[in-house]
Structure formats: structure tokens, C-alpha cells
Amino acid sequence: MAIELSVNDAVRPAPRRAPRLRPGAWPGLAAAVWGLLFAVPSFVWAMGFTFGARTTVAPSLVELAEDRVAWFVAVLWVTGLLKVFGALIGVGLTRRRGGWVGRLMVFCGGGAAVLLVWHGCLFVVHGVLVEIGTRSVAPDLAGLTRWYLGLWGPWFIVGGLAFAAATTRYVRRLDPRREMRIYGAVGALGALLLSSASMITGIG
């Protein structure tokens, strides 16, 4: 019995499978989404829109944004771009990168993880101390402190944990882990020193 094939059957392409993300990619993607979402307020405020900012951000900063102070507007744009850069780092940590690119991913990922978790914990601890009466703030800042306790502190911690998980998974997939761990540790230490210097000098 002869088997007849039509022309359409002969050239019909095999069905394509939808691309699937590896489980290890999710922390990096979570960090990327976190960075993009966090960049939105910076760009919005830089363009002069401060809706909702007075109840969640220090009044002095809101006034600088509303008065369109040039240096502060520039800081907002730079901050937004840095958050977008953080999102790119998150995407970069979803798969292996060779050479200096991989080292940069680990360095920045480790630094972002420590910096964000550290600042988030500071916000939470300060808010808790204010709530239990150990520390006092001006009456007009009491509501703002609760926002830092309930929103910004946890938000920073979540972002830091996402970068930490993404960086850890990235390093674990590599053969020469020791070198990459050094880059991550240096980035984390640099972020901690930068934050400590900011607290001591009162800048930032």
C-alpha cells in the first residue's frame, strides 16, 4: 500500500514549544521588576508630579521637587536611571555571562542586596522605636514614620532579598565560584561602607 504525502504535509514545520524560563531565573526577574517599579516614582517626581508624595516622603524633599530645584531634579533623574540599571543587573543575573560582564553582575548584585536590606532594616527599626515610644519625632512626621515602617522599609528589604537570591543562584551555577564570591563580597562591603559613611556624614 503506497503512502501519499501532500505538499503541505511535507513542508509543514514542527510545532514550536513556548520558551520556558528556568526556575533559577525568577529571582533575577523579580529584582528587575522591583527596580523598574521603584524607578517610576523617581521619574514621575522628576517631571513635577508629586501626587501622593506628601504622605509617604519627607516634606522637605517634596518641596524641592515641587519648586523644581535644578540639582534635586537632576538627582531624581539620576536616581531613576540607577534603578533602571539595577533592573538590568537583575536581568543579567538570570543566565551565565562571561568575562568582566559576569563579574560586574555579581559585584553589583551583592552590593545592591546589602545596601537595600541594610536601609530597609534601618527604616523598620526606626519606625518600631518610634511606635513604642523609645524615640520621638515631630508630630507632623509621625504619619510619615509609619509609611517608612510599613511600606518603604519592607519594600527595600524585599528588593534586597531578590538581588541576594539572584546573585547567589548565579554564583552557584558557575564552576570557579570562589572568584565570583570575592566580587560579590567586595560589592557588599563597598555598599555597607558607603551607607555607613552616609550615616556618619549626614549626606544622603
DSSP assignment letter at 152: I
- The pLDDT of 87-105, averaged and rounded, is 88
Question: Does a structural domain hold residue 16?
Answer: no
Q: Where in the sequence is the domain holding 111, given as residue range(s)?
A: 25-201
Identify the pLDDT of residue 189. 79
- The pLDDT of 10-33, averaged and rounded, is 69
Identify the pLDDT of residue 198. 63
Percent of the chain with pLDDT over 90: 36
For the chain, the domain total comes to: 1
Percent of the chain with pLDDT over 70: 81
List the beta strands (DSSP E) in 61-114. Answer: none
Read off the pLDDT of residues 123-153 as tens digits, 9 standing for 90 and up. Answer: 999 899 988 888 888 777 777 888 888 899 9
* Residue 173, SS3 per DSSP: coil
Buried b (16+ CB within 10 A) or exposed e, 15-26: eeeeeeeeebbe
- The pLDDT of 2-16, averaged and rounded, is 53
- The pLDDT of 163-183, averaged and rounded, is 79
Identify the pLDDT of residue 202. 45
The dihedral sign for the CA sequence 95, 96, 98, 99:
positive
Question: Does a structural domain hold residue 132?
Answer: yes
Question: Does a structural domain hold residue 169?
Answer: yes
Q: What is the pTM of this model?
A: 0.79
55 has pLDDT over 80: no
Question: Does a structural domain hold residue 1?
Answer: no
Identify the pLDDT of residue 1. 46
Identify the pLDDT of residue 82. 92
Question: Does a structural domain hold residue 14?
Answer: no
197 has pLDDT over 80: no
Cβ atoms < 10 Å from Cβ of 28: 27
